[in-house]
Structure 1
């Protein structure tokens, strides 16, 4: 063992939670609310996904203290989103808008690194979940992994390479750039359920060339089934589109064997930004990111640097990643089934999930705006009507999202409030929300102004028809309705005269409407006392050009 390896800290317990937000394509074009999870409920024999029971409405004997601690962390309006409404004297219980489905066939994952010096790593899979949200065409895949007694550099390399949907380039040996050499999902008996294919460069290139969209690696495709990628020829009712970067947001929990303060500042930076391992004396970044690292990315309220004090816990955040680092010897930080480990898996998971849900939902609505604008053909009346209908539908969805899911504050607990604020600032959800709202309002204002313009044009045309029809009405009124005598005509003759007058009147009315714009211009010029008489005559003659 080299001196560097001997000095490298060990991680007694490691947890990693990956989140992958995806956009779900509508099941029905005529409905705003798409309950995609119902497809999973109705086809349970064809897939391993099963809905997770709500722990808050089950047997009170199974309701644990950690459930209570999770519940009281959040403000009442956030609790209604997370857990629904409870029983009341005047209202019925309301379900949470969150539906969670879990598959239990994947028990472990085997990770093979491109570096032959790295050992093959087998981690336990705690759970694989799909989160669905009522009235949002978004789902979030979450995968929780854990392992014990790992080298810190192995942990850093794993987090850097594992959560990648597809490679962005390929190494000289053909392996996927920044990806693991091989990822294998294992069943309880150790059999391989699916394996990655990052090295299949031709498949990734062909898919982008044909569909103008990247495709995910084979092991991610397996995990998501029966969901299938929208930009593909795969058959399936539940179809999804990728929303964000190929690198999935990640949470990490590291219980260090010994004093976590032995980690260098550069090691903390690598954990924060999820970069590959490197020498402790070499920083992964320079410049402003390195200079303001502690102030911007570290929450050190419970991090004690005095040698005679317990180290406590350090929270690291950059938006796309959230890390908790502490000592495995501290019962407060690491006790299986209790301590900060359970808070990491539940309270902090929700603090990380919600802002990423916000970002995904806003991306989804922005994508829809762009899609329907692309479908608009201003020369096709049906296309214009469809565009108006869809824009108003998106505005209604945005309003419901605002009142049901959009939270500027989740908790009054100082720590939870500050960590949520850091997440929002790094992800830029406030600016994204404002941008999407302004884009929807701009389109809605345009549609309203266009409707008012059309109504005004209709009023002008009707006014012109009424003005010129007033001439005939006045003349017939002056002479009376008996100007022509039809007493001696037979009923058939009277009917013939009626049809003739009806046809002539209809033709004159329609012709007046056809010329109403020019007639309107003529009336405007006629009412202008400053215009000479010859210009008014010219305007009248222009009507019949």
Structure 2
């Protein structure tokens, strides 16, 4: 790492920075492709993306205590979501049985990140622990996960990193051409230190032209490179796997900061650290902002924030968009990467944060689908109505699968894990969003049901009218069958003529009854209405015969 790192109370002994970027996934493969998106990624990417091996191997000697602690931290239905299940020994022989609906693909070529925060500062190089893509069975959402780490990083520099790095594109530009809020330059490096790709936030015209042409913001070059072979949906590039932005371009983050004396931080410093995704380091603190005045009550979990030698001295700050863990670097438990808090941060706390943001991403994705469906509905176009019905029924089925397979109100019986999950979900508004999407889909489903009932009722009315008028023809033909007129003794040509004539008349009357069934239904109701006078009934008959609208049939 290249930076000035003089000892002091603001030195971060161990720095972890985890980014999550939920994206909407679209698969545009060949028609004969019937596999899963992660399988298609392996096919088109070659060795760049490889599946992460399951830690639950057949050899118990390879299963570590850290894996066990992670597994038992969650409730059984969450365990089945994260790790799958095997009900008995013979299940091992059934390929795919009991597998987790979550799949993880890892990029193997990116080893480090070099960052210039501003043109005047020296570059900072941090290691890349991994760059992963999380896929979820039957859900069109993928989550990019990047984990960075470094040792002995100044706290002020760490805050700048947390604030500036992790933006999909610049939100604007300074007069000098540097992008607002993001790093001046970022470079992905391989294991030998070679530059794989660098950022292009200073290319103002490229971003302006892309938005003007596609009505969607362009992804910065270094993030677009990291996602390859996935390509942005609005781009002109060809790609079997495409993605669209779901939320704000600022990626949610987790941070682990090990300080020599974390209790030396003031309340204002903790506030700036906790609100690092929205408050630029160095800016004046908005004293009247509720997020500042109620910071500790809203965002801090201090059950382990104890001022004693035996205590972990750890503070958890969760704002929804960020989960910050600050602790004592002198504590062996806090720094332990196998059994301590560092291990829990990278696994249990990461997973609860991932699940909360996965929930939000899927719900926002459903919201967008419903908007598209209702926007394309034209009630006067039968084809549009049929497409709308098919889409809503498909979305309703997908939402049911999501709510039963992926939606959880509780993750764990461990107070700390469950508390942070509920705090994160509440800050993100997941429960309210879930209820809204459920109600919206329910309303659309009820609309489809009522529309189907209305159509069935109209059909029944038409059939009833046809039956009533067909009854007259039945009586008449029955009368002819009483041998009052001896058609059986008539010549064959006469009988054929009468048969054709009566059939034609019956068909004409039946067709007339079907075409005029709605008006005939109104006429029958008018005849049955004892409160209507003769003039109103004749007006109803005129409406049937001459297609006129009558204002006299209003008091029924």
What is the TM-score with the length of structure 2 in the denominator?
A: 0.91
Q: What is the match of residue 352 of structure 1?
A: 353
Alignment deviations for residues 336-384 of structure 1 (CA, whole Å, 9 cap, x no partner): 4442111111011001000101000101111111111112222221111
CA RMSD of aligned residues (A): 2.4
Deviation at 1:317, TM superposition (A): 0.6
Structure 1 stretch displaced more, 494-503 or 470-479? 494-503
- The 8 Å contact of residues 85 and 95 in structure 1, kept in 2 or not, is answered as yes
Q: CA offsets, 1:40-73, max 9 Å, x none?
A: 133343x611111111134322111110000000
Partner of 2:470: 469
Runs of 4+ in 1 over 6 A off after TM superposition: 28-31, 89-92, 493-497
SS at 1:233 equivalent: coil
Q: How does 1:311-460 map to 2 (within 5 A)?
A: 312-460=313-461
Query: Is 1:303 the equivalent of 2:305?
Result: yes
Aligned to 2:510: 509
Contact 2:189-2:195 within 8 A present in 1 as well: yes
Task: Report the 3-state secondary structure (helix = DSSP H, G, I; strand = E; otherwise coil) of the residue aligned with 2:389.
Answer: helix
Q: Are 1:106 and 2:107 an aligned pair?
A: no
Matched residue, 2:231: 228
Q: Distance in 2 between matches of 1:296 and 1:180?
A: 29
| TM-aligned CA distance change 1:309 to 1:541, over 3 Å | same
Distance in 2 separating the partners of 1:193 and 1:396: 42
**CA contact 1:11–1:148 (8 Å) conserved in 2:** yes
Question: d(CA) in 1 for partners of 2:500 and 2:307?
Answer: 100
Rounded to whole Å, the distance in 1 between the matches of 2:516 and 2:31 is 39
| Contact 2:44/2:229 (<8 A) preserved | no
CA distance, structure 2, for counterparts of residue 397 and residue 121 of structure 1? 45
The DSSP-based 3-state class of the residue aligned with 1:367 is helix
- The question of whether the paired residues in 2 share the 8 Å contact of 1:186 and 1:194 is answered with yes
Shift of the 179–479 alpha-carbon distance from structure 1 to 2, 3 Å rule, reads: same
Give the match for residue 203 of structure 2: 200
Q: Distance in 1 between matches of 2:145 and 2:489?
A: 89
Distance 2:425 2:31 in 1: 34
290-299 or 221-230, which deviates more: 290-299
| C-alpha spacing 1:418/1:511, structure 2 compared with 1 (3 Å) | same
Matching residue of 2:146: 143
Alpha-carbon spacing, 1:499–1:12, altered in 2? closer, same or farther (3 Å): farther
1:539 CA displacement: 1.4
Residues 484, 445 of structure 1: alpha-carbon distance in 2 compared, 3 angstrom cutoff: farther
Q: How far 1:475 moved relative to its partner?
A: 1.3
Q: Which runs of 5+ in 1 are unaligned?
A: none
- The number of aligned residues is 534
Determine the C-alpha separation between the residues in 1 that align with 2:45 and 2:285: 50
Q: Deviations over 1:463-516 (max 9, x none)?
A: 11111111111111123176573666569x877765665444333322211111
Query: Residues 130 and 142 of structure 1 are in contact (CA less than 8 Å); yes or no, is this contact kept in structure 2?
Result: yes
Mapped partners of 1:194, 1:29: distance in 2: 30
Once the two structures are superposed, the pairs formed by residues 16-31 of structure 1 within 5 Å of their partners are 16-27=17-28
- Does the CA-based 8 Å contact 1:51-1:101 persist in structure 2? yes
Q: Is the 8 A contact 2:29 2:241 kept in 1?
A: no
The corresponding residue for 1:270 is 272
What do residues 7-38 of structure 1 show as CA deviations (whole Å, max 9, x unaligned)? 6610011001100000112558999x983112
The aligned residue for residue 72 of structure 1 is 72
Q: Distance in 2 between matches of 1:501 and 1:235?
A: 67
TM-score of the superposition, structure 1-length normalised? 0.93
Structure 2 partner of 1:48: 48
* Paired residues of 1:20 and 1:248 also in contact (CA < 8 A): yes
Instruction: Determine helix, strand or coil for the equivalent of 1:130.
Output: strand
